[in-house]
Structure formats: C-alpha cells, structure tokens
Amino acid sequence: MFIIIFMLGACFGSFFYLIITRRQLGQSILFPASHCPYCQHRLTIWELIPILSICCLRFRCHTCHQKIPVSSLITEILSGIMFSYVFYGYPASLSQKCLALVWLSLALILSVADCLYLSIDLQLFFYTHLLLWFVLFSLQQPFFLSHLLVCSAALLISLLLKQTYLGNGDLLLACAWFPWLSYQQINLLLLIASGLGLIGYGLCFLNNRRLDLRLPFIPFLSLGLFWVYFLS
C-alpha cells in the first residue's frame, strides 16, 4: 500500500511539473496531451510512468534523444514523499490530511517554479490560493487578520519603494500563508527559512564565487511551513 501511495504522489508530481512548465510557456495545462517539447512526440503510456520511465529512458526523449530535466524527476520524488508522509506519518484527521495535501502541494509547485524561473505565476498563485483559503475556512482554522494587514502593508511599501532585496513574490506568499499561522509559528518559520537560505547562499557562493547571486526563497519558506505546521 505504501508503494501505491508513493506512486500516486509521484503521478501528481508529474502533473505539477507539467503545470509549472506549461504555465511558463503560456500553454494550456490540459491540451495537447503530454508530449516532448522538442520533437512534439506524444508520450506513450510506458513513457508516462513516474520516476521509472525517466530512469529507464536515461533522461532522454525516446524519439529525439533530447535531455529530460532532472528537476522533473526531483518533483515526482518529492511529491511521492509528501503523499507518503501525509498518509502514514502525519497524525491527523482525514480533513486535516486533505488540508496538508492541498497546502503542501501548492508549496511544492511554487517552490519548483521559483527554483526554475525565480518568479511566481500570479494567475496560478491566486487561483490555487483561493482554493487553499476555501479549505482553511471550511475547516475553521484560526485566522489572524492582523497578520494579513501587516504583510499587506509590507508588500505595498515594497512595491512603492521598488526595493530588490526581498522578492515581492515572497511577500505575496506571506500574505497568503501568515494569516493562518500564529505569531510563534511565523517567527519559527522565518528563522528556519532564513537559516536554510543563508546555508544555501553560502554553498552557492562557494561554488560560483559571486556576491550578486539570486537565490529562490520560496523553497526555504515551504520547508519552514512544513516544519512548523505539519511536523512539529
């Protein structure tokens, strides 16, 4: 049963990656069917098995032999791990497990998109977080209006000053997530995200020897969210 849940999560991860890449190109996420972006070869069933297909194909398209991004495999694995944790490691009711799947799935999509493109698809962001807020309100989760007002003010000031030190996408994400977290949870989330961000920046600096590196921050915020809301 564990393998089935993991592979189900990996299937969702494959779809998440399709959403990310097609939205970046301005394409529909439903049509056409899954295909190679280089030669337009329509993928067969055996080419669509998450994780296994990409490994058997050795990260190459079966037809044109163009490279398949490793990031697609990583997304499938992370999604499989996420589903496995929610079903087997998260001690909560069924409704809370559904909330975890929705929230962590959105965090995964935004994290991968931030890693690949250093940006947020605003349309995708608003639609998906409307769904998240609907689920949160439906489950009567604690809502802190003051947190929303503070985050909104910070985002407005950032837009007016046109600052570049903190991405507006990160502040927009704070407006969507922080109203549902307590003050203590927000502090711990930011501490974890900042610490991991500094470690990530240090590793990238040692590899590139550049001070003007642009580092995606949403993955670190997502890890902080996972720790304070679904793990602790």
Q: What percent of the chain shows pLDDT beyond 70?
A: 95
pTM, 2 dp? 0.91
pLDDT tens digits, one per residue of 97-140: 999 999 999 999 999 999 999 888 888 899 999 999 999 999 99
Chain mean position to CA 116? 11
User: What SS3 string covers 138-172?
Assistant: HCCCCCCHHHHHHHHHHHHHHHHHCCCCCCHHHHH
Q: What's residue 114's pLDDT?
A: 92
Distance CA 26, CA 117 (A): 14
Check residue 163 and give its pLDDT. 60
List Cβ neighbours of 187 (8 Å cut-off, separation of 6 or more).
none
Model confidence pLDDT, tens digit, residues 165-211: 556 788 899 999 999 999 999 999 999 999 998 898 888 777 776 65
pLDDT at site 14: 92
The sign of the CA dihedral 65, 74, 112, 48 is positive
Residue 11 predicted with pLDDT over 90: yes
Choose among 41, 138, 65: nearest CA to 96.
138
Decide: 113 and 121 in contact? Cβ < 8 Å.
yes
pLDDT of residue 118: 86
How far apart are the C-alpha atoms of 147 and 174, rounded to whole Å? 9
Q: What is the band of 63 on the pLDDT scale with cuts at 50, 70, 90?
A: confident
What pLDDT shows up at residue 72? Answer: 92
What would the pLDDT profile of 20-44 be if each residue is shown by its tens digit? 998 888 888 877 778 777 787 787 7
Instruction: Judge whether residue 160 has pLDDT over 80.
Output: yes
CA distances (Å), origin 206, targets 195, 199, 201, 211, 215: 17, 11, 9, 10, 14
